[in-house]
């Protein structure tokens, strides 16, 4: 009887053990399969594909103060999520344009550098609606019922046109004012001594 | 030839400010009160020259008139450049406030060097010296920009050579401009070149 009882007890235990083992084993297999899959999707892929993205990109144009395009210059995009590592890097095109597709709301930064010490930095505030409704917004714009301007672009702009003329005149006038004051100060000093 | 903010290391920026400070102090000390207007005129010309484009080959650049300014102003070229660059930074968004020291040295030092090397010969009407002064000032400026960039980031050393080569055409143009300006000043206002 004791032996029988033991068998009776041990056999459900054995079944449970086997099932438990099976579950653990499966889980282990899944984890080991998912682990590298998460780490490197490319290694597990067996092919490539593409489709037209429905996300709206932001396209910027970079130029020098001479009006010349900053063509083929190094460009880096920094996401609001990561300020250190570039979200995207590449070069501007022939006409100084560079486009990227934001995937988070917040302030994005695009930095374009050349090899002679010139740097242009654009800061772009991306609103949540820009990301959520990029498709709908595009349709609305196409239908003429809304503006696409869900982004605020605050670029350290180089003045142009009339503004440039006024600023230049102001600069020259300031220069002569500084000269006049210096001259006056010197004369007084000279007269005193 | 303005270096923008964000390229140079703190050491280079600090060294630039020290050198610019020393140069400006000497320049102000040597400044003759009667010549302050002259400094203002050249400072204004330098301030405005960067807005006038000169097409050279496929690209375009602007005159800096470093040599004429240096030859006329001598040591006062430092305060003249410092103030002009400060106004360009504040009003026109060229360069930046942190790099102002380095940019001042890069533009004023070549002017001072050509003044020390060539001013007596230019005054005597040596045309070759005027051309050489104009040419050398630009090449020295490019050398300064290249040095500042490669000292901050050794990876930029290759780019420094590009900067140097890219300024050759401008150096030739400035040589010619300095040649004509020196000739004109010698005739019209000989006392200005002292």
Q: What is the 3-state secondary structure (H, E, C) of B30-60?
A: CCCHHHHHHHHHHHHHHHHHCCCEEEECCEE
- Structure letter (DSSP) for residue A115: T
Q: How confident is the model at residue A43 (pLDDT cuts 50, 70, 90)?
A: low
The pair phi, psi for residue A61, each rounded to 5°, is -120, 125
> Which of A64, A117, A160 to probe the B interface (max B CBs under 10 A)?
A117
Give the residue, B110 or A63, on which the prediction is more confident.
B110
- Helix, strand or coil, per DSSP, at residue A3: helix
- Assigned token pair, B144: 């300064």
Flag whether B119 is in a domain.
yes
Greater model confidence, A28 or B51: B51
User: Could you please report the per-residue DSSP string of B127-160?
Assistant: HHHHHHHHHHHHHHHHHHHHHHHHHH-GGGHHHH
B194 is a domain residue: no
Smallest CA–CA distance, residue B92 to chain A, in Å, is 6
pLDDT of A146 reads 42
How far off is chain B from A152, nearest CA to CA, in Å?
20
User: Rounded distance, CA A99 to CA A88, Å?
Assistant: 10
Rounded to the nearest angstrom, the gap between the alpha carbon of residue B115 and the centroid of all alpha carbons in its chain is 11
For residues A146 and A64, the answer to whether their CB atoms sit within 8 Å is no
pLDDT score of A192: 45
pLDDT for residue A145:
42
Residue B78: pLDDT over 90: yes
The structure tokens 């006409």 sit at A95
Q: How confident is the model at residue A41 (pLDDT cuts 50, 70, 90)?
A: low
Pick the residue from chain B with its C-alpha nearest to A161: B51
pLDDT at A96: 92
Angle between helices B66-73 and B77-92 (to 10 degrees): 140
pLDDT, mean of residues A15-42: 60
CA distance A171 to B95: 16
Q: What is the 3-state secondary structure (H, E, C) of B104-122?
A: HHHHHHHHHHHHHHHHHHH
- How many C-beta atoms surround the C-beta of residue B155 within 10 A? 9
Q: How many domains does chain B have?
A: 1
**Is the CB of residue B16 less than 8 Å from the CB of residue B102?**
yes
Q: pLDDT of B146-189, one tens digit each? A: 889 888 888 777 777 877 888 888 899 999 999 999 888 888 88
Q: What is the Cα A15 distance to its own chain's centre?
A: 55
Helix (H, G, I), strand (E, B) or coil at A93: coil
**Residue B172 maps to a domain:** yes
A43-72 residues touching B, CB cutoff 8 A = 65-68
Q: Do A171 and B51 touch (CB under 8 A)?
A: no
On whether residue B1 sits in a domain, the answer given is no
User: What sign results for the dihedral spanned by CA atoms B79, B81, B86, B88?
Assistant: positive
Domain assignment present for residue B116? The answer is: yes
- pLDDT at residue B90 is higher than 50: yes
Nearest C-alpha in B relative to A116: B163
Residues of A within 8 A of B143 (CB-CB) are: none
Q: Which of A175-179, B59-63, B135-139 is predicted least confidently?
A: B59-63
Please give the C-alpha separations between residue B151 and each of A164, B36, B155, B158, in angstroms, as whole numbers: 34, 35, 9, 12
pLDDT at residue B96 tops 50: yes
Q: Residue B83: which of A66, A115, A175 has the nearest Cβ? A: A175
Q: Looking at residue A42, what is its pLDDT?
A: 64
- Residue B192 included in any domain: no
Q: Kindly report the CATH class assigned to A58-159.
A: mainly beta
The closest alpha carbon to A98, from A81, A119, A73, A116, belongs to A73
pLDDT of A99 over the 90 cut: yes
Question: What's the gap between Cα A111 and its chain centre?
Answer: 10
Q: How many CA atoms, within 13 angstroms, populate the side-chain half-sphere of residue A130?
A: 19
Classify residue B77: in a domain, yes or no. yes
Tell me what the pLDDT averaged over chain A comes to.
Answer: 74
Residues of A whose CB is below 8 A from B55: none
Q: What is the pLDDT of residue A180?
A: 87
CATH of residue B118: 1.10.1760.20
Report the alpha-carbon distance of residue B3 to residue B152 in Å, rounded: 12
Please give the share of chain A, as a percent, with pLDDT higher than 70.
60
- Asked whether residue B4 is assigned to any structural domain, the reply reads no
B39 touches chain A (CB under 8 A): yes
What range defines the domain where residue B66 resides?
10-187
Q: Do B91 and A168 touch (CB under 8 A)?
A: yes
């Amino acid at each position: 009887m004791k032996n029988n009882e033991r068998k009776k007890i041990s056999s459900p235990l054995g079944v449970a053990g086997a099932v438990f083992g099976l579950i653990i084993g499966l889980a282990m297999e899944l984890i080991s399969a998912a682990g590298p899959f998460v780490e490197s999707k490319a290694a597990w892929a067996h092919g490539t594909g593409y489709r037209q993205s429905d996300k709206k990109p932001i396209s910027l144009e970079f130029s020098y103060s001479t009006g010349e395009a900053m063509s083929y210059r190094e460009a880096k995009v920094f996401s609001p999520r990561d300020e250190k590592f570039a979200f995207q890097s590449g070069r501007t095109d022939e006409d100084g344009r560079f486009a990227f597709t934001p995937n988070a709301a917040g302030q994005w930064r695009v930095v374009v550098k050349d090899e002679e010490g010139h740097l242009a930095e654009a800061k772009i505030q991306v609103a949540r609606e820009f990301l959520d409704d990029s498709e709908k917004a595009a349709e609305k714009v196409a239908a003429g019922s809304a503006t696409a301007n869900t982004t605020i672009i605050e670029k350290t702009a180089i003045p142009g046109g009339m503004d440039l003329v006024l600023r230049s005149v102001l600069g020259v006038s300031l220069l002569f004012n500084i000269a006049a004051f210096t001259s006056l100060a010197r004369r007084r000093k000279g007269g005193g001594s | 030839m303005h270096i923008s903010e964000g390229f140079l290391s703190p050491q280079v920026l600090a060294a630039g400010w020290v050198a610019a400070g020393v140069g400006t102090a000497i320049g102000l000390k040597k400044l003759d009160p009667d010549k302050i207007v002259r400094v203002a005129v050249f400072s204004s010309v330098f301030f405005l020259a960067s807005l006038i484009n000169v097409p050279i080959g496929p690209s375009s650049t602007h005159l800096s008139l470093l040599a004429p300014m240096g030859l006329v102003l001598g040591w006062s070229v430092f305060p003249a450049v410092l103030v002009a660059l400060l106004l360009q930074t504040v009003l026109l968004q060229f360069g930046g406030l942190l790099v102002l020291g380095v940019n001042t040295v890069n533009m004023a030092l070549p002017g001072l060097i050509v003044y020390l090397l060539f001013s007596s010969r230019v005054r005597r009407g040596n045309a070759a010296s005027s051309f050489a002064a104009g040419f050398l000032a630009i090449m020295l400026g490019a050398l300064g920009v290249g040095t500042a960039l490669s000292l901050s980031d050794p990876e930029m050393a290759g780019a420094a050579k590009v900067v140097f080569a890219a300024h050759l055409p401008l150096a030739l143009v400035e040589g010619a401009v300095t040649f004509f300006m020196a000739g004109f000043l010698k005739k019209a206002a000989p006392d200005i070149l002292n």
